[in-house]
Amino acid sequence: MKFAYTLKTAVNGLNARKSRSVLTILGIVIGITAIIMVMSLGEGAQNLILSQIQGIGSKTIAVVPGRQPNGISGAMSTLTDSLKNNDLTALRNKNNVPHAANVMPIVFSSQTIIYENNSYQATIFGATDFFAEIFDINPAEGRIFTQDEVNGYSDVVVIGSKVKDELFGASDALGQKIKIKGRNFKVIGILGKKGQSTFVNFDQAAIIPYTTVQQYLLGIKYFNRIIVEADAEANIDSTVQDIQSTLRNSHNITDPTKDDFYVETQAQAMQMVSTITNVMTLFLAAVAAISLLVGGVGIMNIMLVSVTERTREIGLRKALGATDKDILTHFLLEAAILTSVGGIIGIMLGLFFSFITSFILTNVLNLAWSFSFPVLAIILGLGVSTLVGLVFGIYPASQAAKKSPIEALRYE
């Protein structure tokens, strides 16, 4: 009963100073809102990236040129031309990698595509016809180029929906010639809307036989990636080992620490993405939490002012029998109520803005983004906001409890 009375008194005290109370909790509201948004959008981004990685198949293995990045120095030492045609031939040899069902080289760059008076900066994606299977993408119109066209360095191209719209508008694009770096390419296929898939947005891409891209557009003799598909998930680990052994033999490498390539499975890629996004989300949440510290200091400051203003009230309550514990509890409750209300408002605003942002990303930018309800962040937000109120309310509350009733009654 006594606690209920103290709680009621604390609420009445805050109601008597509504404007001050609202301004006091503003820092807490901003801090909790920012934390909820960061964690919700961070989880949404992680889900988006992981779904794209999963979209290219669990049996897919990527061979990447250069040393595996390990901090800034590792990234700087990456070699981009270490995967060449003799490596592709070796990986396609069943004696070397017996469980490789498909092996596809990839080259990519950004080039300007021209059709009559229209131009568009697109991603040039050089691959084999296997790209349609591995990325689960098929033309809405026309066809994919064949292996014979890859072997023959054919000037054919499959364009994304965005490329088609920018260059041709409502006109028919099939059979038309587009120009890339002064060379004419015949449009044989148009992709339906696909969007981002791993590192390529196929809506904004022009897909060409990799041989043609290497020989005529880029003038290179190396690959940016080699994709290997294992024949079964059970054989992924052995296939990775076979790839590593094959490339080490091809590159005359005896010390694995000197590898000028690295191999990534989808499970490893997903684990890496999860680690990176979790670290970034926690870092951003920690930055946002600084406003909670600022809000806590503001509450302590306001509570100290409140204690000074209510000195006579404190003296009167003590003269009527209130103990130091009663006064301490009263002011602690006021601080805790302020921060708890701020936390609840911040959570609601954070969820609201996160939902709006997710809606915009999904419906305006056409990303496969899903709204994430961060239960952990909500629990953390309520707990932290209440804790801030208690921690930063202890000093003002203890100052109020220490006041002598006689001196307090004499206070003017």
**363-380 tens-digit pLDDT:** 776 666 777 777 777 787
Domain boundary among 206, 224, 259: 259
Looking at the domain assignment, is residue 64 inside a domain?
no
SS3 of the chain: helix, strand, coil, percent, to 5:
60, 20, 25
Look at the chain and report how many structural domains it folds into. Answer: 2
> Are 304 and 376 in a shared domain?
yes
> Are 120 and 88 in a shared domain?
yes
**CA–CA dist 29, 22 (Å, integer):** 10
> Are 386 and 338 in a shared domain?
yes
In DSSP terms, 230 is beta-bridged to: 100
**CA–CA dist 180, 332 (Å, integer):** 71
Looking at the domain assignment, is residue 65 inside a domain?
no
Assess contact for 102 and 232: CB atoms under 8 A. no
Look at 69-78, 135-144, 215-224, 353-362 and tell me which has the smallest mean pLDDT. 69-78
Looking at the domain assignment, is residue 61 inside a domain?
no
> Are 90 and 43 in a shared domain?
no
Looking at the domain assignment, is residue 162 inside a domain?
yes
pLDDT of amino acid 236: 83
**289-326 tens-digit pLDDT:** 776 777 777 777 777 776 666 666 666 666 767 677 77
**CA–CA dist 65, 82 (Å, integer):** 5
Domain boundary among 212, 232, 259: 259
> Are 146 and 195 in a shared domain?
yes
> Are 87 and 235 in a shared domain?
yes
**100-151 tens-digit pLDDT:** 888 999 999 999 999 989 999 999 999 999 888 888 788 999 999 999 999 9
Looking at the domain assignment, is residue 73 inside a domain?
no
Domain boundary among 210, 230, 259: 259
> Are 23 and 146 in a shared domain?
no
**186-210 tens-digit pLDDT:** 999 999 887 666 667 888 999 999 9
pLDDT of amino acid 1: 41
Assess contact for 346 and 28: CB atoms under 8 A. yes
Q: Which residues form the domain of 27?
A: 2-52+277-410
DSSP 298-327: HHHHHHHHHHHHTHHHHHHHHHTT--HHHH
Residue 55, SS3? coil
> Are 250 and 132 in a shared domain?
yes
> Are 90 and 132 in a shared domain?
yes
- Compare 172 and 342 and report the one with higher pLDDT: 172
Amino acid found at 188: I
> Are 158 and 225 in a shared domain?
yes
Looking at the domain assignment, is residue 228 inside a domain?
yes
Give the contacts of 224 (CB within 8 A, at least 6 positions apart): 65, 80, 83, 106, 107, 108
> Are 342 and 378 in a shared domain?
yes
pLDDT of amino acid 3: 62
> Are 211 and 87 in a shared domain?
yes
Predicted confidence band of residue 30 (pLDDT cuts 50, 70, 90): confident
Assess contact for 189 and 176: CB atoms under 8 A. no
Looking at the domain assignment, is residue 70 inside a domain?
no
